Amino acid sequence: MSETHSVKNLLTQAELIGQSVTVKGWLRSKRDSKAGISFLSVNDGSHFDSLQCIAAEELENYSDILTLSTGCAVVISGELVASQGGGQAVEIQASTVAIIGEVDDPETYPITKKRHTFEYLRTQAHLRTRTNTFGAVTRIRHTLGISSQQLPMGWEAVVRWSHSRVVQRLLVAPACDLTPKAVVPWAPADHALDEAALFPLCLWAAHAVLDS
């Protein structure tokens, strides 16, 4: 039975080559060849790059695979192998491709491979996290959020956790001032803020900015 991995793990952990793995995500792109092979580019938001999966026409549902398009949700299982082509180090030789969700009209699907402006992505709030930019922001927010809550012993006297939406505000019109207006965390008056104490404060401030 194959083990489920993130795209990031499959792209970065060489020891997984040769193992049976499963990846879950959505299609960034799909290319069909005349040789009866489809190249599926799968991403799950865990990595900037996508994972290439090879689906051969011998698969039972290959006719359904041919109808897939950008944005379709899939679960792919197979052997992780070293890539024979350029552009990627590893790829999955798919043994099964389960189609979880399809796009009703591929011609009007709003998120394509091309670069989109932030103004356009504001109109696609439910899908913009599938882009590289917002995916990267989400991963940074996760890392900063976890780091800001894992403080060494004794630093709790310096930093107090508070949700950033409580302590910051944005002026989005008319001047579009995106500078967060934040208050400094409470600290005892007799506690000196040395260099070690400034580190968690920086994490806290960065988290407040990203939460905007």
Same domain for 71 and 9? yes
pLDDT for position 159 = 61
pLDDT bin (cut points 50, 70, 90) of residue 158 is low
pLDDT tens readout for residues 99-152: 999 988 888 887 877 788 888 888 887 788 778 788 888 888 888 877 766 766
pLDDT tens readout for residues 73-113: 999 999 999 998 778 899 999 999 999 999 888 888 878 77
Same domain for 199 and 141? yes
C-alpha–C-alpha distance, residues 94 and 202, integer Å: 45
Tokens of 92: 């999955």
Residue 79: beta bridge partners? 20, 93
Same domain for 30 and 101? yes
CA R_g for the chain: 22
pLDDT for position 126 = 76
C-alpha–C-alpha distance, residues 171 and 180, integer Å: 9
Instruction: Give the chain's domain count.
Output: 2
Same domain for 142 and 87? no
Query: Is 76 inside any structural domain?
Result: yes
Same domain for 122 and 86? no
Same domain for 129 and 47? no
Same domain for 96 and 123? no
C-alpha–C-alpha distance, residues 101 and 25, integer Å: 10
46 SS3 class: coil
Query: Is 113 inside any structural domain?
Result: no
Domain boundary residue, one of 56, 83, 108? 108
Tokens of 179: 């500078």
Q: Do β-strands 20-32 and 37-43 pair in parallel, antiparallel, or remain unpaired?
A: antiparallel
Same domain for 193 and 170? yes
Same domain for 93 and 7? yes
Query: Is 164 inside any structural domain?
Result: yes
C-alpha–C-alpha distance, residues 26 and 10, integer Å: 15
Tokens of 173: 């019109």
Query: For tokens 């899908």, what's the residue?
Result: 127
Same domain for 134 and 89? no
User: Which residue segment(s) compose the domain that 156 sits in?
Assistant: 118-210
Query: Is 57 inside any structural domain?
Result: yes
Same domain for 169 and 137? yes
Q: 8 and 46 in contact (C-beta within 8 Å)?
A: yes
Residue 56: beta bridge partners? 37
Give the CATH number, domain containing residue 43. Answer: 2.40.50.140
Q: 38 and 78 in contact (C-beta within 8 Å)?
A: no
Same domain for 123 and 98? no
pLDDT tens readout for residues 173-206: 444 444 444 444 444 444 444 444 444 445 444 5
